Chain A
Amino acid sequence: MHWAFYLSFFKVLLLLAITAPVALGFGFLGAMAARSHFLPLSLLGKGYIAIVRGVPDIAFFMFFVIALDQAFEWTRHKVLCPEWTDPVRQGNDFIVCQAAKLPLGSAPEWVHETYGFFLAVITFSIVFGAFAANVLFGGMRAVPHAQLETAEAYGMTRRQTFWRILVPQMWVYALPGLSNLWMVLIKATPLLFLLGIEDIVYWARELGSYKNPKFTQYPHGDWRMWYFLGLLVFYLGMTRVSEIGLERLMRRLSRGQATSGGELLRKETTA
């Protein structure tokens, strides 16, 4: 049925809706860590930012999906089966006790799918969190230093300065980078396919192909080209809509700011 195909579009939108805020949270934590005066923490934050950007993101996707799964299973294995003495890695196998399997072998199909999707969301969030951390770190540094000095002169603590002065002002500096990141995130969603999720790419391949016996009630030749053309148009539409939306947001945020964008708005209204 073609329902699965239509449903997979919602999967993409759901992924976007969950990943964007979570990645932003990861990014915020990363940027805070990188700014920290405590050396190991700042190295951790900077390392997180640097590594994810030096290596292709696809490599990370492939890595984290297996690594996270094994990490979860290993943890459960340690907790649930303490009497188990065999090593977890035996040659080319990764063996945990039955009770520690994720999802459980007896679980229904939808649990498997949800678990896969959950892993994908975490993976996306970790990778895009690093990009967001980079952008937010830049945004925090772009806030004029005089603002922070003034806050200190008023006797604010470091914590107060951070939350009351720095954070409210950094968004307008970070927004160009974040909107770029949003675009990149949209364009990364088809990679869900590589993580083993039955997403739009999967269904476009399945439905477009003429070989598939499941869909003999609509016999057709090889239409995969047209299905992918459809996806191309879908993504172009998403990009265009986001561009317009972000443009509006930028105008809103620039109002009254001491940036060239804000200056431009001021001139527009006075002229």
Chain B
Amino acid sequence: MSCLQTIQDYGLRSIGIGERLLPRNDFTLCEHFTLIGSGMIWNIYFGIMALATGFFLATALAMGKASTNKWLRKPSEWFIFLFRGSPLFIQFFFAYFLFLSLKQSFPFFDALTSAWLGALIVLFFNTAAYSGEIFYGALRSIPKGDIEAADAYGMTGWSRFRRIIWPTMLRLAWPAYTNEAIFLFHATTLVFFSAFPVWQQRGDALYYAGYFADKTFNPFIPYPILAFYFILLTLVVIWGFGMINKRLNRHLPAAKRSKMKLRLNLAR
């Protein structure tokens, strides 16, 4: 079987398109690359969806935590503590069994026990909490002069937030947020290794890598391939976030524009 044929059969296997049976023996390098790459679809899906939705909740949480109103501040603080203070792995387990019992009482929640929605919700809350803390830190380090200038121009409420506070907050938080995004993508590999079941062997990249390692009892091929894909993904994320960073800083004179110095810090 040629490699092209393999890609046709297994390229979209993780979302259920193509050959149904996974290869069983005599695994070729091409099958390794194709199936693990196919699994990356899930990692990218979880990562992008969680980031896109989590971003807004994170902004809200940061504003809430910085608020002077107790009724806004306390819930935000607790939410952030709850999701940052406990392991994502346990959150997945707890959420899954919570959804399971919800489903038994109300069939309406059926979709929650499948990974595409249930795990996404957990990742959404999780990344919102971590980014919320990052944004909160940035919010507190907005230069006082910026806000005073906005006040002097008579800006209040929404327009002050939209034009001054929010862009500055993003600008300050961006390097740390990039870091968070990278580790969120890494965290997506946990989904199918916690409670969420893999339906019809449609798993993520680590699931397929684990499948190969189990079958061949040789970890030295599938895991480096997985590593290769993830390093590629990390580079793409750094590039994409770098572009946004450029746009966020476009008003600054070129000399003052801070080149994004990204030091991958494990801050999860």
Interface residues of A (CB under 8 A from B): 51, 53-59, 62-63, 66-67, 70, 89, 91-94, 131, 134, 138, 177, 180-181, 184, 186-191, 193-194, 201, 204-205, 208, 222, 224-225, 228-229, 231-232, 235-236, 239-240
Do the beta carbons of A187 and B231 come within 8 Å of each other? no
Do the beta carbons of A62 and B86 come within 8 Å of each other? no
Do the beta carbons of B97 and A225 come within 8 Å of each other? yes
B25: chain A residues at CB < 8 Å are 91-92
**Does any Cβ of A come within 8 Å of B267's Cβ?**
yes
If over half of A's interface residues share one DSSP class (helix, strand or loop), that class is named, otherwise mixed; here it is helix
Size class of the B contact interface (CB-based, 8 Å): 35 or more
How far is B265's CA from A94's CA once the two chains are assembled, in angstroms?
37
Q: With A59-B227, A235-B90 known to touch, is A240 a contact of B219 (CB < 8 Å)?
A: no
In the complex, the chain B residue whose C-beta lies closest to that of A131 is: B266
How far is B217's CA from A134's CA once the two chains are assembled, in angstroms?
32
**Does any Cβ of A come within 8 Å of B263's Cβ?**
yes
Do the beta carbons of A51 and B227 come within 8 Å of each other? yes
Q: With A225-B94, A232-B91 known to touch, is A54 a contact of B193 (CB < 8 Å)?
A: no
Do the beta carbons of A187 and B217 come within 8 Å of each other? no
A231: chain B residues at CB < 8 Å are 90, 93-94
**Does any Cβ of A come within 8 Å of B61's Cβ?**
no
A-B contact pairs, 23 of them (CB 8 A): A53-B264, A55-B186, A56-B206, A58-B189, A58-B190, A59-B230, A62-B213, A63-B213, A89-B218, A131-B266, A177-B265, A184-B266, A184-B268, A187-B87, A188-B87, A189-B87, A190-B90, A204-B93, A222-B97, A224-B97, A225-B100, A232-B90, A240-B85
Do the beta carbons of B193 and A187 come within 8 Å of each other? no
Contact partner of A66 (CB less than 8 A), chosen from B98, B190, B219, is B219
Do the beta carbons of A53 and B101 come within 8 Å of each other? no
In the complex, the chain B residue whose C-beta lies closest to that of A93 is: B217
In the complex, the chain B residue whose C-beta lies closest to that of A225 is: B97
A225: chain B residues at CB < 8 Å are 94, 97-98, 100-101
B213: chain A residues at CB < 8 Å are 62-63, 66
**Does any Cβ of A come within 8 Å of B209's Cβ?**
yes
Known: A58-B193, A222-B101, A236-B85; 10 extra A-B contacts, CB below 8 A, are A54-B227, A55-B226, A56-B186, A57-B186, A58-B186, A59-B209, A62-B206, A62-B219, A63-B219, A194-B193
Do the beta carbons of A187 and B86 come within 8 Å of each other? yes
The smallest C-beta distance from B84 to any residue of chain A, in angstroms, reads: 8
A-B pairs under 8 A by CB, number = 123
Q: With A67-B219, A190-B89, A236-B85 known to touch, is A59 a contact of B206 (CB < 8 Å)?
A: yes
8 A Cβ contacts from B210-236 to A:
210, 213, 215-220, 223, 226-227, 230-231, 234
A201: chain B residues at CB < 8 Å are 89-90, 93
A134: chain B residues at CB < 8 Å are 264-266
Residue interface mask B76-119, A partner, CB < 8 A = 1 = 00000110111111110110011011000000000000000000
B265: chain A residues at CB < 8 Å are 134, 177, 180
Do the beta carbons of A228 and B210 come within 8 Å of each other? no
How far is B193's CA from A108's CA once the two chains are assembled, in angstroms?
29
Do the beta carbons of A232 and B94 come within 8 Å of each other? yes
**Does any Cβ of A come within 8 Å of B147's Cβ?**
no
Do the beta carbons of A228 and B94 come within 8 Å of each other? yes
**Does any Cβ of A come within 8 Å of B155's Cβ?**
no
Do the beta carbons of B206 and A187 come within 8 Å of each other? no
**Does any Cβ of A come within 8 Å of B187's Cβ?**
yes
Q: With A62-B206, A222-B100, A225-B94 known to touch, is A94 a contact of B186 (CB < 8 Å)?
A: no
In the complex, the chain A residue whose C-beta lies closest to that of B82 is: A236
B189: chain A residues at CB < 8 Å are 56, 58-59
- Most chain B CB within 10 A, of A93, A194, A232, is at A232
- Most chain A CB within 10 A, of B218, B219, B266, is at B266
How far is B97's CA from A180's CA once the two chains are assembled, in angstroms?
29
Do the beta carbons of A181 and B266 come within 8 Å of each other? yes
Do the beta carbons of A66 and B268 come within 8 Å of each other? no
In the complex, the chain A residue whose C-beta lies closest to that of B264 is: A53
How far is B85's CA from A53's CA once the two chains are assembled, in angstroms?
21
Contact partner of B94 (CB less than 8 A), chosen from A63, A89, A177, A229, is A229
How far is B150's CA from A267's CA once the two chains are assembled, in angstroms?
32
The smallest C-beta distance from B251 to any residue of chain A, in angstroms, reads: 29
- Most chain B CB within 10 A, of A91, A187, A239, A240, is at A187
